[in-house]
Amino acid sequence: MHRPCASDLAYRPDIDGLRAVAVLSVIGFHAGVRWFPGGYAGVDIFFVISGFLITSIILRQLAEDRFSFADFYARRCKRIFPALIIVLAAVFAFGWMFLLPNEYERIGKHIVAGAGRLVSRSSSTFCGHLCCYGFGNENPTRSPSPSVSPAFHSRLT
């Protein structure tokens, strides 16, 4: 059976250009640069790019009668989980070294919610319930400044 890979899609320099715009807008937003007030637009650009690429792969595989949900999710896991584990471990270590106990407890809740992706097929539903309902009144998706929580960002992907 043919295993799809990144080379199944032709290189698209226009998509790399959009990625650069997205990265610059997010970095500029977090750095407080006034020229980039739309950091959220950068995240939206990433979502659109991901949707386009994933849909292209799925449609091509369906046309070739070789699409499998199991393979699709296995490829997502191989790509996303290593980075997720590293980010969550780094946030945990940083918190242990630099945060006050109540802040460390709060970041721990975010880490648990982010780690929920590792054990749940429906990660957004699982994490949403953990974050919004499982830990009292705290809801990082509606907090005044979710941009300060690296673990929050890990749940968006």
pLDDT of 65 reads 95
Q: Quick check: 25 and 35 in contact, CB under 8 A? A: no
Instruction: Show which of 45, 67, 89 is a domain's final residue.
Output: 67
pLDDT in tens, the chain (157 residues): 555 454 467 888 999 999 998 988 888 888 888 777 767 888 999 899 999 999 999 999 999 999 999 999 999 889 888 998 898 899 999 999 999 999 999 998 888 887 776 665 444 444 444 444 444 445 544 444 555 555 555 544 4
The residue segments making up the domain with residue 50 are 1-67
Residue 21 sits in the same domain as residue 96 = no
Report pTM: 0.59
Residue 83 shares a structural domain with residue 116: yes
The pLDDT, as a whole number, for residue 92 is: 92
Report the 3 state secondary structure along the chain.
Answer: CCCCCHHHCCCCHHHHHHHHHHHHHHHHHHHCCCCCCCHHHHHHHHHHHHHHHHHHHHHHHHHCCCCCHHHHHHHHHHHHHHHHHHHHHHHHHHHHHHCCHHHHHHHHHHHHHHHHHHCCCCHHHHHHHHHHCCCCCCCHHHCCCHHHCHHHHHHHC
- The last residue of one of the domains, among 39, 67, 95, is 67
Question: Within this chain, do residues 44 and 83 fall inside the same structural domain, yes or no?
Answer: no
Helix axes 101-115, 123-132, angle to 10 degrees: 160
Same domain, yes or no, for 109 and 45?
no
Closest by CA to 91, choosing from 105, 109, 111, is 111
Q: Last residue of some domain: 67, 90, 119?
A: 67
Are both 96 and 157 inside the same structural domain? yes
Do 62 and 104 share a structural domain?
no
Shared-domain flag, residues 24 and 84:
no
Same domain as 57, residue 121: no
* Number of compact structural domains in the chain: 2
Same domain, 37 and 88: no
